[in-house]
Chains A and B, each alone.
Chain A
Amino acid sequence: MRNEIELEGIIEDYLNGKLNDDEVKAFEELRLKDATVDHKVVAHKVFLESLNDYASISDLKNKMNEVHAQIDVAAISKEVGPHPSFIINIWRKNKAAIAVAASFILLTVVTLYSIQQTTQQSGSVELVSRELAKIKTSQSNLIRKINSTNNNSANVPKDLKPANFGGTGFALTANGYILTNLHVVDGADSVYVQDSKGNSYKAMVKRRDSQYDLAILKITDDSFTALSNLPYRLKQNIIGMGESVYTLGFPKDDAVYGQGYVSSKSGYNGDTTQYQVSIPVNPGNSGGPLLDHDGNIIGVISAKQNQVDGATFAVKSKYIQEALNSIPNDSLGKKIAFSKRNSLQGLSKPQQVNKIKDYVFMIKVYK
């Protein structure tokens, strides 16, 4: 006990540097020899340092508390603390965020507004381009009609007849041969023709002439009774511009009369197999007969140009005859011959139409 108290006194003096040189030397030798003493020295050193730290920090804390007591905390709190109002707090805390949000909204509004402006412009551009596309389609329609090498079906008549509807045709002979446009019946599963009285007959496509977009149908239905002699004849001479013409067709379920004039002796893109006729036609008029004022057939309505008002195209009668001639006799069974006589000559338009209407058929196509 006594020794230990002595030892600690020496350790303390050693750590505080109170020993003289000889004593330090002796003590350090003792530390080297005796591990227990060395351990005690180290532990005491750590302890003393902690105690000193504790002392200085407590001292500092005491001083700070004294200073703190002199500060009017409440007054400063009032000045710097959060505002009692919730909304003002939100505003203070999120000033930056609110500013960002506000400018974002502003930007969005401006952008949307300008986008709207631009869309309006680009919309009209689109429209124009769509129109251009339409022109392109109508052009390709017609080109196909001219070249007609490939057997494309559905999209050719789109401008002229809706699906499952059809077009118009007219009697070539009294015994049931009917002429129409090839694009009306192309790709058809079955074809029916309906006369002006509403009787429907089954028909078969007998002949296709893709060069002039013509097709010849034969009524195969048993209930069909032969027509009386055809009132019109095929006029093969080219007729001039300004000649007044009319047509009968089925753009709806009942026959529709349309009147106009030959406006050009060539068709689309200068196609000499066609006339350009200024006559109002609609989808369903395809295949309808084009007659002059005397009731002579001068062509077959086949197409119209979308972008030009009243630009309808009709296959010239000359090519109807050519098409008929090119048909081998056995293919139709019997040579088709147009009547040479025109019983309509000299009659008024209503009388002519009245007579013709029995020979114009609605072609109904099921695909």
Chain B
Amino acid sequence: MSNKLSSSVPTDREVVLGILNNSEEALNKLYTGYFPMVLQFILNNNGDEDDAKDVYQEGIIVLYNKIKGGNFELSSKLKTYIYSVCRRIWLKKLSQQSKKSNDISDFEDVIAVETDVEHHEEKDQQFDKMQSALLHLGEPCKTIIQDFYINNLSMQEICEKFGYTNADNAKTQKYKCLQRLKKLFFQS
């Protein structure tokens, strides 16, 4: 195809190592490096810029999980992998919206990534479940849980932040919140 994209991209090795080390710079380079490629694909296949953003971010998440899962073998160029994953995700979305998904314009080589994408979909469901559970949990439970489990604050810090009289009260509150969240998460 004519308009190949010539934006600067990091080397594959750089990216893999960067992801393993949680390097923000690596993510930055990776994200800016390959976004135009996916944008081009989506725009030329019945999608808009927001679709491109969603699909691309999902693709990056797939790549992250794959690398962090430890079983990442670079059997193709990273570019090809990202393109194939995004392509696969977009085709699924197209068929879910029952838009025509034949006659796809391709700009890169494509490799088989079905299993990775399916694996990602399962995880994505878990993510959505957790998101909606947290949403339904309401304040202040949500913040307490996030502070404790995600931001790794200690009970003492939470106790001070929320003005509980002692750590035991905070613990009890956290316990109640957690029970409710678990209920919401496992029921949905």
Q: Is B a genuine binding partner of A?
A: yes
A interface residues with partner B (beta carbon < 8 Å):
1, 4-5, 8-9, 43-44, 47-48, 50-55, 57-58, 60-61, 63-64, 67-68, 70-71, 73-74, 76-77, 79-82, 92-93
Main secondary structure of the interface of A (DSSP, over half): helix
- The one of B5, B28, B186 in contact with A80, judged by C-beta atoms closer than 8 angstroms, is B5
Assess A43 versus B43: contact at CB under 8 Å? Given A68-B53, A73-B49: no
- The one of A50, A68, A93 in contact with B129, judged by C-beta atoms closer than 8 angstroms, is A50
On whether the beta carbons of B130 and A76 are closer than 8 Å, the reply is no
Provide the bound-state CA to CA distance between A77 and B41, in Å.
10
What are 29 pairs between A and B in contact, CB < 8 Å?
A5-B171, A5-B175, A43-B186, A47-B182, A50-B129, A51-B150, A54-B134, A54-B150, A55-B149, A55-B150, A60-B60, A60-B61, A63-B27, A64-B27, A67-B28, A67-B32, A71-B32, A73-B52, A76-B35, A76-B36, A76-B39, A77-B39, A80-B39, A80-B40, A81-B39, A81-B44, A82-B44, A92-B2, A93-B105
On whether the beta carbons of A54 and B49 are closer than 8 Å, the reply is no
* Chain A hits for B129, CB < 8 A: 50
On whether the beta carbons of A67 and B31 are closer than 8 Å, the reply is yes
Provide the bound-state CA to CA distance between A54 and B133, in Å.
11
On whether the beta carbons of B172 and A67 are closer than 8 Å, the reply is no
On whether the beta carbons of B39 and A67 are closer than 8 Å, the reply is no
Closest partner residue, chain A, to B36 (CB atom): A76
* Chain A hits for B178, CB < 8 A: 8
Answer whether residue B80 sits at the interface, using C-beta atoms and an 8 A cutoff: no
Provide the bound-state CA to CA distance between A60 and B5, in Å.
25
Sample of 11 further A-B pairs with CB below 8 A, known A47-B186, A77-B39, A92-B105 = A52-B149, A54-B127, A54-B130, A57-B123, A68-B53, A73-B39, A74-B49, A77-B49, A79-B3, A81-B40, A82-B44
Which residues 141-163 in B have Cβ within 8 Å of A in the complex? 145, 149-150
On whether the beta carbons of A47 and B185 are closer than 8 Å, the reply is yes
Provide the bound-state CA to CA distance between A360 and B180, in Å.
129
| Highest count of chain B CB atoms <10 Å: which of A52, A54, A55 | A54
* Chain B hits for A48, CB < 8 A: 149
Contact with A along B54-65 (1 / 0, CB 8 A): 000100110010
- The one of A4, A51, A68 in contact with B130, judged by C-beta atoms closer than 8 angstroms, is A51
Answer whether residue B131 sits at the interface, using C-beta atoms and an 8 A cutoff: yes
Provide the bound-state CA to CA distance between A71 and B28, in Å.
10
Answer whether residue B24 sits at the interface, using C-beta atoms and an 8 A cutoff: yes
* Chain A hits for B109, CB < 8 A: none
Closest partner residue, chain B, to A68 (CB atom): B53
Q: Name the 7 nearest CB pairs between A and B, nearest first.
A: A80-B40, A81-B43, A54-B130, A55-B150, A67-B31, A5-B175, A76-B36
**How many residues does chain B have at the interface if contact means C-beta atoms less than 8 Å apart?**
40
- Shortest CB–CB separation between residue B38 and chain A, in angstroms? 10
* Chain B hits for A61, CB < 8 A: 57, 61
Closest partner residue, chain A, to B124 (CB atom): A57
Provide the bound-state CA to CA distance between A80 and B40, in Å.
5
- The one of A51, A67, A71, A77 in contact with B149, judged by C-beta atoms closer than 8 angstroms, is A51
Provide the bound-state CA to CA distance between A353 and B35, in Å.
109
Closest partner residue, chain A, to B5 (CB atom): A80
On whether the beta carbons of A77 and B43 are closer than 8 Å, the reply is yes
Answer whether residue B126 sits at the interface, using C-beta atoms and an 8 A cutoff: yes
- Shortest CB–CB separation between residue B123 and chain A, in angstroms? 6
- Shortest CB–CB separation between residue B170 and chain A, in angstroms? 11
Provide the bound-state CA to CA distance between A67 and B53, in Å.
11
Which residues 1-29 in B have Cβ within 8 Å of A in the complex? 2-3, 5, 24, 27-28
Provide the bound-state CA to CA distance between A67 and B26, in Å.
11
On whether the beta carbons of A43 and B182 are closer than 8 Å, the reply is yes
